[in-house]
Chains A and B, each alone.
Chain A
Amino acid sequence: GAGVSQTPSNKVTEKGKYVELRCDPISGHTALYWYRQSLGQGPEFLIYFQGTGAADDSGLPNDRFFAVRPEGSVSTLKIQRTERGDSAVYLCASSLTIVQNTGELFFGEGSRLTVL
């Protein structure tokens, strides 16, 4: 498809395990964003990439969270030693360039993470 693709759509894991969430942005989009959305809340910014580099990672809650985008396309969000408080929907979005220029992010449907 032509949209932002996220896998898995659903992930259930146990406390303490390692998790990877993948995002495949729209082809040609240079900017890629990760957000986290808890139930009943708005999306909370985690990190964004312009190309391969993390331009702003100020939203990552702690050093258990890490994200990469090695070739400037697909990105992986990695969570180490998961905790129950990490349970949320993790949203990926892409944009032709950074959002201050375009004003529009294209979101995927999210990866729902449940930590038991």
Chain B
Amino acid sequence: GDSVTQMEGPVTLSEEAFLTINCTYTATGYPSLFWYVQYPGEGLQLLLKATKADDKGSNKGFEATYRKETTSFHLEKGSVQVSDSAVYFCALSDNQGGKLIFGQGTELSVKP
């Protein structure tokens, strides 16, 4: 079945460092891809999405490009802030049913 694999955390960075969180997927068909974020004490919320190959999703300085050839959707940010500390989840929608399938999450901790 469809699945998502993320790099393991926790990831600890200093403020203004470059961030990459790797995400790869396995799917039949042409899924849409998402990054969700869970800040401490809050519910999950959509960060960005891409619905077809070569699309780039972006929001709040974060970017991810849908790469069909490598089945990847890596999350990047050029300069992280302490406020970016959270757990990040990569997910796919199978485009046949209505559900999202999530990766295991990657915890990011940004130190001042």
Which residue numbers of A lie inside 8 Å of B, CB to CB?
Answer: 3-4, 31, 33, 35, 40-45, 48, 50, 55-56, 59, 91, 93, 95, 98-100, 103-110
Please state if B98 and A55 are interface contacts (CB–CB under 8 Å). yes
**Do B43 and A100 have beta carbons less than 8 Å apart?**
no
**B→A interface (CB under 8 Å):** 4, 32, 34, 42-46, 49, 51, 89, 91, 93-105
Inside 8 A of A48's CB, which chain B residues have their CB? 97-99
Contact A107 B34, CB 8 Å, known A100-B93, A100-B97: no
Bound-state CA distance A46–B101 (Å) is 11
CB-based contact A55/B46 at 8 Å: no
Give A96 Cβ to nearest chain B Cβ, in Å.
Answer: 12
Which residues of chain B are within 8 angstroms of A41 by Cβ–Cβ distance?
Answer: 104-105
Task: Find chain A residues with CB under 8 A from B95 CB.
Answer: 100
Partner of B49 from A95, A103, A107 at Cβ < 8 Å: A103
* Given known A-B contacts A31-B98, A99-B99, A42 and B45 have beta carbons under 8 A apart: no
Of B91, B98, B104, the residue contacting A98 (CB under 8 A) is B98
- In the bound assembly, the distance between CA atoms of A42 and B62 in angstroms comes to 20
Task: Give min CB distance, A115 to chain B, whole Å.
Answer: 22
Would you call B104 and A42 a contact (CB within 8 A)?
yes
A43 to B34 alpha-carbon distance, docked (Å): 14
Q: A31-B98, A100-B93 are in contact. List 9 more A-B contacts (CB 8 A).
A: A40-B104, A42-B105, A43-B102, A56-B99, A59-B99, A103-B34, A105-B100, A106-B45, A109-B42
Report if A43-B44 is in contact (Cβ < 8 Å); known contacts: A50-B98, A100-B32. Answer: yes
Contacts of B97 in A (CB 8 A): 48, 55-56, 98, 100
Closest A residue, CB atoms, query B102: A42
Q: List 26 A-B contacts (CB under 8 A).
A: A3-B43, A33-B99, A35-B102, A40-B105, A41-B104, A42-B4, A42-B89, A42-B102, A42-B104, A42-B105, A43-B100, A44-B102, A48-B97, A48-B99, A56-B98, A56-B99, A91-B43, A93-B44, A98-B97, A100-B97, A103-B34, A103-B49, A103-B51, A107-B43, A107-B44, A110-B43
**In the docked arrangement, what's the CA distance between A45 and B97, Å?**
12
